[in-house]
Chain A
Amino acid sequence: MFGLDKRDTTLFLFVVAITLLAPFLLNPFPTESALAQFNAGYPDLMQRFVIFGIFAIGFNILFGLTGYLSFGHAAFLGVGSYAAVWMFKLLSFNIVPAIILSVLVAGVFSLAIGYICLRRSGIYFSILTLAFAQMSFAMAYSVLSNPNFNLTNGETGLQVYADDPQILKGDGPDFTHLFGLEMNTTKTLELGAWAFQFNAGFYVCAFFMIIAFYIAMRIFRSPFGLMLRAIKTNQTRLNYTGLNSRPYTLAAFVISGMYAGLAGGLLAVTDPLAGAERMQWTASGEVVLMTILGGAGTLLGPILGAAFIKYFENIFSKINDTVLHSWFSFMPESIDNFLVAILYPFVGKGWHLTLGLMFMLIVIFLPGGLVDGGQRLWNRITGKNRTQAEPVANPKPAE
């Protein structure tokens, strides 16, 4: 089906089902229960799951297949956001032109940056992309926000004001919308003790993530994808086999840049505001973590990694000392205080510490990422010693 073989069709339908049913699956605990704070089924977080999923899927096409580690992909995310917000400012809050422009602008941007950076490989490539991203950040933050030519609105961030032209708006909605369906529309389904939320913005983003996943899958199974994997393995042999590696890496770079642009555009769709911090190097680093954590070079890995990181970022950072005390309140006060003192550095503002520890554990014990871990677990359960059929023949620690 859809030009995929049976195995891939199953995987694809699995991803579609998981994505569409996310409001149920991510909401396992009743609303009033103490565990409700571990629920992830609210619109804001689910949108982040799929948007950063798209970002990581795209990044994986470059990093997972060709092995070129870009440290500047957040620049394309930011550019996509700015492009989308400009469409909102100039035309209307309709998301279609915004998304189209964000992908195109990110594509052009990545073509220019990729053309220069791909003259080098390895660490030099990474540093070049990092330099470009930091330049973009600095430009967006200050240079491009002077009174004469205000493209980015500096540290305030680009947003839509009442006196913006919005020439196509007429009396249309005052929030981002898809032909009238506002992105912040949420329908709540009450089922017993549970409340499931279905948000328009989430489903629009989910639709794009499914498309993004489908295209990535086709790329993985195409001769083009095979060449990208060959580049990762042995560029010398590739060149002496009559293939020019430069256009291949550039195409992969542009494709992944466009994915990042799409993700950036969708961030603006769910919240019509674009700030320069979206382009900062920490944001570039985050997508690297997502891809490695999930499993670089695998199809599902980036989505898992993105969801994993965004989940812990949101859930762990919400846990403060009051919450901790409420958990251990049944114990004597001294033990309660002791446990809270131990755990406190790892939650709330300190959630990065937890993330760092988990990242270390995964990279050391599961070099193939979460997908690798899942496969090992599956093999142990079924008792099979199946050789890996995923693209990475033998997962190696990401370099």
Chain B
Amino acid sequence: MGILEIKDINKRFGGLQALGDVNLSVEEGTVHAIIGPNGAGKSTLLNCLVGKLEPDTGSVTFEGKSILGLKPHQINQLGISRVFQTPEIFSTLSVFENVMIACFAKRDGAFQLNPLTSIKGEKDIHEKVEQMLEDVNMADKRDHVAASMSRGDKRRLEMAMCLAQDPKLLLLDEPTAGMARADTNNTIELLKEIEEKRGITMVIIEHDMHVVFSLANKITVLAQGTPIVEDVPSKIKGNPKVQEAYLGGAHE
């Protein structure tokens, strides 16, 4: 029984079957990559896991509890954090404030009415933010306005915000999309470090095979909304079904 269990999920958009009978089990402590050609349903699947979309049929359980029908913030409070394809950060706030918001959300829950508390008095939160920024090597950028940073740094910040919440499961939607090679390698290093130090379970959706094969312990290949292969990385490359899915066999 994995930490995340997806059973018989179907999702239709009008006449398009975006997901058809997807079954997936993510084991605790693994890095599970989901790959597939464009339009295979990777992002739809991810959106079904975070409460943005609701599947038509099927079930999604996290640690044995169903998370279907929950709102994104409720799912996050259960311990699932998401990293977006384009970094979603609070761009007009400082790096420090960005991470601080994540820390408050972890400590105080989804809503806290504390208009008269002073932020400056929250010593434990300040310490935690400092620590988190050290961990992702951003301590020197703490007062930068988030919008002013490079793509790689924004990604790093988003990662820090997710990690500050000590998630049990980290979902990454193409974490290196549109990045320069150097930034991509930095991100891979960062993710490796997270995996080694913290042992957080991760689900990665990715186009870049270099990233996938550097990180994943297990790979699921999705084609036309259905998983066609699930295996360890070394066996995926030579699999004829995978080659067919990627090299256009689907058109015949």
> Do residues B90 and A244 form an inter-chain contact, with CB atoms below 8 A?
no
Bound-state Cα–Cα, A329 to B84, Å: 70
A252 to chain B: closest CB distance in Å?
A: 9
Mark interface residues in B27-41 (1 if CB within 8 Å of A CB, else 0): 000000000000000
Bound-state Cα–Cα, A219 to B117, Å: 8
Is A394 interfacial (CB-CB < 8 Å)? Answer: yes
Chain A residues whose C-beta falls within 8 Å of the C-beta of B77 in the assembled complex: 242
> Do residues A233 and B82 form an inter-chain contact, with CB atoms below 8 A?
no
Bound-state Cα–Cα, A311 to B77, Å: 50
A15 to chain B: closest CB distance in Å?
A: 18
Is B250 interfacial (CB-CB < 8 Å)? Answer: no
> Do residues B110 and A243 form an inter-chain contact, with CB atoms below 8 A?
yes
> Do residues A222 and B110 form an inter-chain contact, with CB atoms below 8 A?
no
Is A356 interfacial (CB-CB < 8 Å)? Answer: no
Chain B residues whose C-beta falls within 8 Å of the C-beta of A227 in the assembled complex: 101, 104
Interface residues of B in 109-135 (CB under 8 A from A): 109-120, 122
Q: How many residues of A contact B (CB 8 A)?
A: 34
Is A247 interfacial (CB-CB < 8 Å)? Answer: yes
> Do residues B76 and A244 form an inter-chain contact, with CB atoms below 8 A?
no
Residue from A5, A226, A248 with most neighbouring chain B CB atoms (10 Å): A226
Chain A residues whose C-beta falls within 8 Å of the C-beta of B88 in the assembled complex: 234, 236-237, 240
Is B237 interfacial (CB-CB < 8 Å)? Answer: no
Chain B residues whose C-beta falls within 8 Å of the C-beta of A240 in the assembled complex: 50, 72-73, 76, 81-82, 84, 88
Bound-state Cα–Cα, A236 to B86, Å: 12
A399 to chain B: closest CB distance in Å?
A: 13
Q: Given A236-B88, A239-B71, are A248 and B111 also a contact pair (CB < 8 Å)?
A: yes
Closest to A396 in B: B92
Bound-state Cα–Cα, A224 to B122, Å: 13
Chain A residues whose C-beta falls within 8 Å of the C-beta of B165 in the assembled complex: 241-242
Closest to A225 in B: B115
Is A223 interfacial (CB-CB < 8 Å)? Answer: yes
Q: Given A230-B90, A237-B90, are A243 and B114 also a contact pair (CB < 8 Å)?
A: no
Chain A residues whose C-beta falls within 8 Å of the C-beta of B180 in the assembled complex: none
A212 to chain B: closest CB distance in Å?
A: 13
Is A218 interfacial (CB-CB < 8 Å)? Answer: yes
Chain B residues whose C-beta falls within 8 Å of the C-beta of A244 in the assembled complex: 71, 73, 110-111
Is A187 interfacial (CB-CB < 8 Å)? Answer: no
B170 to chain A: closest CB distance in Å?
A: 12
> Do residues B119 and A393 form an inter-chain contact, with CB atoms below 8 A?
no
Closest to A252 in B: B115
Closest to B101 in A: A230
> Do residues B116 and A226 form an inter-chain contact, with CB atoms below 8 A?
no
Closest to B107 in A: A223
> Do residues B90 and A243 form an inter-chain contact, with CB atoms below 8 A?
no
Q: List 25 A-B contacts (CB under 8 A).
A: A3-B116, A221-B119, A221-B120, A222-B115, A224-B113, A224-B114, A224-B115, A224-B117, A226-B100, A226-B119, A227-B101, A230-B90, A232-B92, A241-B76, A242-B109, A243-B105, A243-B110, A243-B111, A251-B113, A251-B115, A255-B115, A392-B92, A393-B93, A393-B145, A394-B145
- Contacts from B to A (Cβ < 8 Å): 50, 71-73, 76-77, 81-82, 84, 88-94, 97, 100-102, 104-106, 108-120, 122, 145, 161, 165
- Contacts from A to B (Cβ < 8 Å): 3-5, 215, 218-219, 221-227, 229-230, 232-234, 236-244, 247-248, 251, 255, 392-394
- Nearest 5 A/B pairs, CB to CB: A242-B76, A244-B110, A242-B105, A237-B88, A247-B111
